[in-house]
Amino acid sequence: MMIRLFTILFLFLFSVASLSAQDCGSRWSITPRLGVNNSDVMGLHWYTTTGSVTNTAQLAETTSKWGLTVGADVEYRLSRRIGFSFGWFYSNEGYSMKGKDDGSVYVGGKTVGSGDKIKTHLHNFCFPLLVNVYVLRGLAVKAGLQVNGLVSSRQKFEGNSTELPLNSLHTVGLGLPVGVSYELKNIVLDVRYVWTFTNHCDLQVSNNMREVWNSRSLWMTLGYRFRL
């Protein structure tokens, strides 16, 4: 359902862009951005074990994690109202959670002790392609498609840090970004929500249990537009 809604929104914005295309001093610009993100995952489970046998699975209660987002967008203004942009960003995302009190559990390919505090860092390079519709002077709404590339990951357990095996995670994913931005005197405030709809983790835990989850994040960045 969500994929269908985002697809309809993107096609609508693209249609508006096609109808609005006209020569009005079209120009290129580049906007370096720096900010933070608040991210989380959906579908992560705890797995209780007895020896080497996995017994049951229970949906985990994760909490969001704050991280750094930095990068730049290059935009082409097709008309006064419509622009297309391509960006490249580094984004430190992930999630936090606490161990349960009913024995050891299985998380993302690693067994964790009861009561442990866990924070997972996912280091991504992100490439968003957006349609920007300027509804008012300086105010734009945007939607599009984003490619995420996972380059490394780490889990911290009460201060101890270990590698999270990338063979249990998908290193390339697709996301749907949607957001708004406001520009005043070349300073641009941008807020966008990114839902990664492809599976971020797809791990066979046991013969009848499979761990499948994806991620979501809210980006808040401040940038300065340089017109080319």
pLDDT digits (tens, 9 = 90+) for 62-74: 889 999 999 999 9
Cβ(185)–Cβ(223) under 8 Å?
A: no
- For 82, other C-beta atoms within 10 Å of its C-beta total 24
Residue 42 banded pLDDT, cuts 50, 70, 90 = confident
Residue range of the domain that includes 154? 2-43+64-97+118-227
- Of the candidates 208, 187, 216, 164, the one whose C-alpha atom is nearest the C-alpha of residue 53 is 208
Q: Which CATH number is 197's domain given?
A: 2.40.160.20
Looking at residue 22, what is its pLDDT?
45
Residue 34 in domain? yes
Task: For the chain, give the mean pLDDT.
Answer: 79
Cβ(203)–Cβ(211) under 8 Å?
A: yes
Residue 120 banded pLDDT, cuts 50, 70, 90 = confident
Cβ(88)–Cβ(124) under 8 Å?
A: no
Q: Is the pLDDT of residue 77 over 80?
A: yes
Cβ(39)–Cβ(193) under 8 Å?
A: no
Phi, then psi, of 167 in degrees rounded to 5: -70, -10
Residue 48 in domain? no
Cα(3)–Cα(174) distance, integer angstroms: 11
Looking at residue 185, what is its pLDDT?
92
Provide the 8-state DSSP code for 99: -
Residue 158 in domain? yes
Q: Is 17 left (phi over 0), alpha (psi -120 to 50) or beta?
A: alpha
Residue 166 in domain? yes
- Of the candidates 8, 147, 5, 135, the one whose C-alpha atom is nearest the C-alpha of residue 83 is 135
Looking at residue 100, what is its pLDDT?
62
Domain count, the chain: 1
Cβ(166)–Cβ(155) under 8 Å?
A: no
Residue partners of 215: CB distance under 8 A and separation at least 6: 39, 40, 41, 42, 93, 95, 122, 173, 196, 200
pLDDT tens profile 154-189: 877 766 666 666 666 777 889 999 999 999 999 999
Query: Of 26 and 212, which is predicted with more confidence?
Result: 212
Looking at residue 166, what is its pLDDT?
63
Cβ(39)–Cβ(159) under 8 Å?
A: no
Residue 53 in domain? no
Residue 206 in domain? yes
Q: In what order do the strands lie in the sheet with 105-107?
A: 53-59, 45-50, 105-107, 110-112
- Angle of CA points 95, 97, 70, to nearest 5°: 20
Cα(103)–Cα(118) distance, integer angstroms: 15
Q: Is the pLDDT of residue 21 over 50?
A: no
Top mean pLDDT of 46-60, 176-190, 205-219 is at: 176-190
Q: Is the pLDDT of residue 8 over 50?
A: yes
15-4-172-111 Cα dihedral, nearest 10 degrees = 160
**Structure pTM?**
0.78
Residue partners of 174: CB distance under 8 A and separation at least 6: 145, 146, 147, 148, 196, 197, 198
